């Protein structure tokens, strides 16, 4: 009954007042002494406390903080005791994506298992209502920003899906940097009962020009995908849309992937620069695909899908040229020196955490002045059977997409 009361209160709340509403309900029903929401920034590096009046306080770093450990941990609840008060940290999750952290302080005598289960449920309910509320208010989006986004970055973040997603057959994590000044890199995915389709794109150029080009490409691919056609035809129709607009003066590098849940077969159309890497057991290798023309380069290009097998326990990592071609101060590329090592170093992390870890490793490797976007997408494949092996493919990742 109390869980339903929390849900009803959140649904009835004004969009900008969700935290205040939840705070009042938890204080009345569970004796909560304080309730605080911390929202993750676009880069996943900090958690910003969202105040009672909608104001943002100083951010808390994800690295080396109790809040960050709770946010990135595999459990839906962590707690610490301070005398007669227990502080509960509960990740706010929306369909597999962790968007923030709910911190609730309760008297020790009220911190019983049934109450903790209700708090976990409340954090999930808050996550879903935040997603809906962002259609009508900017207060949560403003709180996520450590600095102002460029116009190009604003356009790109509006285009992106979530940064993580999971189902019985797979788990996905993605991250794009620099979060506040991205240009043409993008990722997109969609799944149904039978298949998962993933697209990674990189529009040429910089700034708003690259963002507009990528917007056209992604929406053309979505339009074709929603027509229920093959990824070969999706690529061809998007290619035609780009050529009709730019007449070959601009193009978009694209990797299209389609995974069949029943058979474990995957199809790929490699139309440009994104690379696909696979970790199977302890072996890490690049999946060599037949290169084809980027989208929009020529009129009526024909694309052909290439098939390969994915096995339960496989981890697939897609990286843009801003990752694999990045150079160290000594002139070495990340692909040559460190990419396989970075993938191996994150082998025990869940898919949602792999992109951030790999981008941190890249930041340590490359020239600090490197201007290009860097995009990493990680897919852990479990397969239709749901028989998850030990290791990264059994590392959680949230609720179903």
The set of residues, in sequence order, having a beta carbon less than 8 Å from that of 263 and lying 6+ positions away, is none
pLDDT at 392 over 50: no
pLDDT digits (tens, 9 = 90+) for 251-309: 999 999 999 999 999 999 999 989 999 999 999 999 999 999 999 999 989 999 999 99
Dihedral sign (CA 99, 104, 109, 115): negative
Output the pLDDT for position 51.
65
Cα three-residue angle 176-47-50, rounded to 5 degrees = 125
The secondary structure element, H or E, covering residue 358 is helix 354-365
Q: Measure the CA–CA gap between 58 and 27, rounded to whole angstroms.
A: 24
Q: Per the structure block, which two tokens stand in for 249?
A: 């003066």
Please report the pLDDT score of residue 211 as a whole number: 92
Q: What mean pLDDT value characterizes the chain?
A: 90
pLDDT, tens digit, 9 for 90 and up, residues 204-217: 988 899 999 999 99
Residue owning tokens 């057991």? 281
Q: In this predicted model, what pLDDT tens digit does every residue of 178-230 receive, in sequence order?
A: 877 877 899 999 999 999 999 999 999 888 999 999 999 999 999 999 999 99
Which residues are CB-contacts of 27 (< 8 A; sequence separation ≥ 6)?
Answer: 33, 35
- Terminal C-alpha separation, the chain: 26
CB 202, CB 253: distance < 8 Å: yes
Calpha distance 21→27 (Å, rounded): 10
- Length of the chain (residues): 401
3-state secondary structure of 136: coil
pLDDT at 390: 45
Percent of the chain scored above 70 by pLDDT? 93
Quote the pTM value.
0.89
DSSP 8-class letter at 291: B
Contacts of 5 (CB under 8 A, 6+ apart): 25, 29
Cβ-based burial of 222 (10 A; exposed 0-12, middle 13-18, buried ≥19)? middle
Locate all alpha helices (DSSP H) within 226-304, ordered by sequence.
231-246
CA-based nearest residue to 235, from 246, 245, 224, 227:
224
- For 292, left (φ over 0), alpha (ψ -120 to 50), or beta? beta
- Give the DSSP letter of residue 224: H
Do the Cβ atoms of 235 and 303 come closer than 8 Å?
A: yes
SS3 109: helix
Please say whether the beta carbons of 164 and 96 come within 8 A.
yes
Please give the structure tokens belonging to residue 238.
């998007």
The CA distances from residue 112 to 50, 71, 75, 97, 115, in Å, are 26, 22, 17, 27, 5
- Alpha carbon distance 255, 382 (integer Å): 21
**Which of the 8 DSSP states describes residue 349?**
S
Q: Is 109 exposed, middle or buried (0-12, 13-18, 19+ CB in 10 A)?
A: exposed
- pLDDT of residue 53 exceeding 60, the answer is no
Is the predicted pLDDT of residue 336 greater than 80, yes or no? yes
- Asked if pLDDT for residue 97 goes beyond 90, the answer is no
Residue 127's pLDDT band (cuts 50, 70, 90): very high
Least confident of 44-53, 62-71, 241-250, 382-391: 382-391
Structure confidence at residue 64 (pLDDT): 86
């Amino acid at each position: 009954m109390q869980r339903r009361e929390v849900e009803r209160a959140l649904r009835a709340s004004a969009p900008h007042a969700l935290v205040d509403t939840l705070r009042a309900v938890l204080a009345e029903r569970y004796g909560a002494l304080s309730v605080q929401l911390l929202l993750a920034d676009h880069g996943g590096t900090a958690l910003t406390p969202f105040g009672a009046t909608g104001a943002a306080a100083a951010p808390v770093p994800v690295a080396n903080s109790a809040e960050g450990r709770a946010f990135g941990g595999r459990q839906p609840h962590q707690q610490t005791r301070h005398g007669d008060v227990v502080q509960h940290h509960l990740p706010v999750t929306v369909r597999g994506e962790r968007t923030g952290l709910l911190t609730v302080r309760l008297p020790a005598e009220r911190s019983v298992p049934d109450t903790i289960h209700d708090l976990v449920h409340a954090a999930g309910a808050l996550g879903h209502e935040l997603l809906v509320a962002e259609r009508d208010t900017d207060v949560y989006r403003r709180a996520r920003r450590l600095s102002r986004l460029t116009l190009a970055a604003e356009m790109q973040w509006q285009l992106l899906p979530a940064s993580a997603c999971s189902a019985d057959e797979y788990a996905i994590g993605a991250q794009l940097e620099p979060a506040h000044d991205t240009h043409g890199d993008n990722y997109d995915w969609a799944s149904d009962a039978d298949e998962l389709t993933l697209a990674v794109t990189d529009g040429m150029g910089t700034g708003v020009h690259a963002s507009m080009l990528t917007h056209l490409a992604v929406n053309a691919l979505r339009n074709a995908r929603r027509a229920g056609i093959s990824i070969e035809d999706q690529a061809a129709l998007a290619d035609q849309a780009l050529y009709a607009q730019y007449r070959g003066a601009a193009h978009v590098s694209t990797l299209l992937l389609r995974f069949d849940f029943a058979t474990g077969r995957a199809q790929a159309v490699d139309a440009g620069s994104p690379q696909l890497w696979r970790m199977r057991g302890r072996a890490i290798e690049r999946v060599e695909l037949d290169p084809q023309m980027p989208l929009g380069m020529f009129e009526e290009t024909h694309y052909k899908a290439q098939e390969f097998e994915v096995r339960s326990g496989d981890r697939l990592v897609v990286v843009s040229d801003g990752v694999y071609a990045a150079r160290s101060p000594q002139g070495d590329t990340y692909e040559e020196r460190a990419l396989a090592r970075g993938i191996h170093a994150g082998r025990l992390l869940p898919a949602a955490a792999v992109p951030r870890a790999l981008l941190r490793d890249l930041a340590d490797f490359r020239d600090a002045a490197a201007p290009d976007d860097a995009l990493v997408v990680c897919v852990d494949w479990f397969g239709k059977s749901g028989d998850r092996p030990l290791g990264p493919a059994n590392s959680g990742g949230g609720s179903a997409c």
